Structure 1
Amino acid sequence: MGNFHKPSVIMLSYLKGEISMDYGQIIANRILSLCRQRRLSINKLANMSNIKQSTLDNIIHGGSRNPQIKTLHKVAYAFGMTMSEFFDFQEMDDVSFEDDGNDEQEEI
């Protein structure tokens, strides 16, 4: 068996340095923006995506800082988008991923 350790914590910041936002906030803002554009409530999105409203509320209000890809896939599908389209927006393009300085990789 290999040596396992916790993965590095990923910190996000805009390249321009103007705003510091974590990944969860960026995703929450994307969901809220798409809801506004399509005039959807979080409740309606929950029904359309077959996700519990409490799960979406946790994403929106910061209770879930790293939503599961399956959840985001359901959200994207409810918006009529592919995952690529869902993640194709300026704030995501402007993000810089910086780890905590631990460059070691997990052994499998």
Structure 2
Amino acid sequence: MIKTTGDACCDRIHELCEERKISLNKLSIVCGMTQSTLSNITSGRSKNPTVSTIKKICDGLNISLTDFFDSEHFTNLDQEIK
């Protein structure tokens, strides 16, 4: 299966919510972003979330960017420059 950075971010956000037993709605509240923005990221409609958006999510989850990206989801991603 082809996995992009956007797919990996989506999977990682879902994984972190499951670990913390919080809904995407709750995450959007603690991150200070609209539910639609988070929904667009986690559904794959937003293909490439910015680092600043991921940082807001990390802040809401009380983790660092390093913790977010230190995951098997980001191992062996397909090259995105074609």
Q: TM-score by structure 2 length?
A: 0.91
Q: Choose 1 or 2 for highest CA Rg.
A: 1
Q: Which residue of 2 aligns with 1:92?
A: 74
Structure 2 unaligned segments of length 5 or more: list them. Answer: none
How many residue pairs end up in the alignment?
A: 82
- Output the CA distance in 1 between the equivalents of 2:59 and 2:37: 16
Runs (4+) of structure 1 exceeding 4 A deviation are none
Is residue 2:24 matched to residue 1:42?
Answer: yes
Is residue 2:37 matched to residue 1:61?
Answer: no
Q: Which residue of 2 aligns with 1:80?
A: 62
Displacement of 1:80 in angstroms is 1.1
Q: TM-score by structure 1 length?
A: 0.71
Displacement of 1:59 in angstroms is 0.5
Structure 1 unaligned segments of length 5 or more: list them. Answer: 1-18, 101-108
Higher strand share: 1
Higher helix share: 2
Preserved contact between residue 6 and residue 47 of structure 2 (Cα < 8 Å): yes
